[in-house]
Structure 1
């Protein structure tokens, strides 16, 4: 059985400085930051900005050798990745690997939101980095 994505979870935006980037989102779009966290394992600082059923994540590199710093150096600030919610990330990764999809993470790691995540290589999606996020089931 296919493990289809359930929704767009968030859109990652690479920025040199969260503090500088926030003025547009707060002052012009009138959005509010939910929280800012550091994820040392990914060498990034993340600002979560809820919008509808989705979030924007501003990604600021903590070190010059972080993947986000390398992205900004190569492509400049801007759209970094699109993340999709999935129910069972391990089954989904297994399915994708069986379908010949190139994975960056063969096993899930814990992401900025505290949930399991995994990245798929951008070559799979016309240059767009794709993230899968396992969200806890919601009580209805």
Structure 2
């Protein structure tokens, strides 16, 4: 079940160039930075009262983020909803005729399991479902 907004993803060409704006000008503090090899990105995550700003820098020209920047430029990329059962919520979306980018969850930042819904069937908003470790409705 969807619980809250987890994060807002922002595609950037360079974390080094972008982090100072969020850290210094907005005063959001130091981000958590990690590489998500499965998505071919480096991620900088800022916490803002429990909702995160996720900066996404491509590590490969073949990554979805690199292609998004090439097509649309830097900026808002997606909105992610925290769920306690990503598999069930993904199936609900499929049952509602939503086009899936991921038919099954894949590894994401912070050891999450994530799945994306295609913007062609979500009113042009790339939507991510995000389940954190230990946040499961079934006691896993």
Question: So what's the TM-score if we normalise by structure 1?
Answer: 0.92
Would the aligned equivalents of 1:59 and 1:68 in 2 still touch at CA under 8 Å? yes
Whole-angstrom CA distance in 1 between matches of 2:17 and 2:43: 13
Deviation by residue 1:62-111 (Cα, 9 ceiling, x = unmatched): 01111100000000000000000111111111111111110000100110
Structure 2 Cα separation of the partners of residues 18 and 34 of structure 1: 10
Give the Cα–Cα distance (whole angstroms) in 1 for the partners of residues 121 and 75 of structure 2. 20
Equivalent in the alignment of 1:122: 119
2:5 is the counterpart of 1:31: no
Counting only pairs closer than 5 Å after superposition, residues 1-140 of structure 1 correspond to structure 2 as 3=1, 5-135=2-132, 136-137=134-135
Question: Partners in 2 of 1:117 and 1:33 — Cα distance?
Answer: 24
Instruction: Answer yes or no: is the 8 Å Cα contact 1:33–1:47 preserved in 2.
Output: no
Give the CA RMSD over aligned residues: 1.3
Q: Indicate if the aligned counterparts of 2:23 and 2:31 stay in contact, CA closer than 8 A.
A: no
Gaps of 5+ in 2: none
Distance 2:41 2:95 in 1: 31
Q: Residue 42 of structure 1: SS of its match in structure 2?
A: coil
Instruction: Work out whether residues 38 and 107 of structure 2, in 8 Å CA contact, stay in contact via their aligned partners in 1.
Output: no
Verify the 8 A CA contact 1:31 1:49 in the aligned structure 2. Answer: yes
May I ask how many residue pairs the two structures share in their alignment? 135
Flag structure 1 segments of 5+ consecutive residues without an equivalent: none
TM-score normalized with structure 2 length = 0.92
Structure 1 residue ranges, 4+ long, deviating more than 2 angstroms after superposition: 135-138
